Chain A
């Protein structure tokens, strides 16, 4: 089965506002609703899960009932202390309900990227089925500069080899689960990106072409940009 795992565990501290940014209005609906709707419309996804900070679960449920007119079920799961623990709370909830299977694919996505397209989601699913793991990226536009100390340039890599990571990130569920639970606590605190877990364990990760417009709404400026887009 194919599962959508929308990650909304954050509490909005980066934006400096009184509620998590995924609940801010973008047009006529909260950001998270736009994101959930796109996943619900993807016919290849069998069930959509949303990982929500425990304090906001009731609020999220209210919003789903108020705004989502698509007659498909959305399952809310309490988020964890960080991104990966939210993912694996969702994985646990999936396996509790649907059992373990080598065939399960999980498409993880930031709730604050409402401009994700059906193409990106479908290409993620296809790549995860074929390769086991994939990351959504766009080519780097700016030159990337590496600095070990934050003061002086250490290296300027070839821009053609540089990409910016977006989401979704998608995985064969059994594989990513095994990798994650094999990590030490120290590794877990460093490897906050699920694709990075694959990379450091030499598991190939396929690139899926993202969109510049698939922006992550993290700051007030991002929000202004997203509002201007619609």
Chain B
């Protein structure tokens, strides 16, 4: 079958690649709702290193979304099933010790391989998770939620048991989702969100405490922390975390920065801190995310950070989506109708 693949060939230039897709041993999925990630926006705007752009483009963007099963040669799904698509492609070295998203040889759709901006997406059945009972627009950000679930899981395994106060640095979509998960998973903990933008902070109505970064008092403290700032903000967030965290706290690093960041190692050593790098997610995290999102109170919260723009029917609409996303505070989702 001939498939349409909408590739970014150079920043802000989309072109269609036509590819012959084999259906054997694969599940054919028609993407229905997709969501924009900062990583896609950085490729689209050309804000990645020129060397990286040369290496990874042309490539179809978008790695967040769900679709409907059109055909399944493996017999795992029924035609019409709604499935969340997993962009992580595990390598051959998969084992029980290393999570699939960190395994050597693993790859990622929309980072070197074509993402979900295709007429149909062909995946192995284990790269799909069936779902029901989740609002279609909210299901579009399942991958994003799975990243939060992965971070929660790693934190839960590593952090010591005193979790009276957990700090989340950042006030964007990632901080929102992580805070939302932490609030549900640790109802007895105080979730403290520290950000730069008062309007965005106001969205965190469920958090126990919110602060602008300049307003933190000297006696502010947390037992553990999540860094969800990313970009230029990562340096300030990590520096603050090291200052305010209690001894032997765990710090989960989640924000992506293009530049190297100086870290106050003297205080890291003195406090005996544990730093955990978290990126992407695997099948288990997707299953947990879908389960988590079935809760209607969770859906109501997530809905507050979703902005749905008009459906995408052609290449001009793809450009519109990335333009709209530049002015969206949180997550941009859209129906894929090419």
Contacts and interface: CB of A to CB of B under 8 A. Distances in A.
B18 interface: yes
Given A38-B1, A43-B79, A117 B23 contact: no
Interface string B274-317: 00000000000000000000000000000000000000010000
Interface in B9-51: 16, 18-20, 22-24, 28, 30
B20 A34 contact: yes
A43 B290 CA distance: 25
Interface string A20-48: 00000001110000100110111100000
A41 B2 contact: no
A117 B16 contact: no
B239 interface: no
Contacts of B105: none
B80 A43 contact: yes
Interface string A41-65: 1110000000000000000000000
A229 B24 contact: no
A23 B4 CA distance: 22
B111 interface: no
> For this complex, into which size category does the number of interface residues on chain B fall?
20 to 34
B1 A34 contact: yes
A209 B23 CA distance: 27
Contact of B71 (A70, A213, A230): A70
Interface in A203-227: 209, 213
Nearest to A72: B71
B2 A118 contact: no
B20 to A, nearest CB: 5
Interface residues of A, number: 22
Nearest to B80: A43
Given A41-B120, A43-B80, A115 B70 contact: no
The secondary-structure label for the interface of chain A is loop
B123 interface: no
A159 interface: no
B312 to A, nearest CB: 11
Contact of A119 (B1, B28, B337): B337
A38 B337 CA distance: 16
Contacts of A71: 73
Interface string B71-85: 101000001100000
Nearest to A228: B18
A198 B186 CA distance: 66
A38 B2 CA distance: 8
Contacts of B337: 119
Nearest to B23: A69
A136 to B, nearest CB: 14
B338 A119 contact: yes
A41 B70 contact: yes
A69 B20 CA distance: 14
Nearest to A27: B20
B16 A28 contact: no
A132 B28 CA distance: 30
A114 interface: yes
Interface of B: 1-2, 4, 16, 18-20, 22-24, 28, 30, 68, 70-71, 73, 79-80, 119-120, 313, 337-338
10 contacts: A40-B71, A43-B70, A69-B22, A70-B73, A115-B2, A117-B4, A118-B70, A118-B120, A119-B313, A230-B2
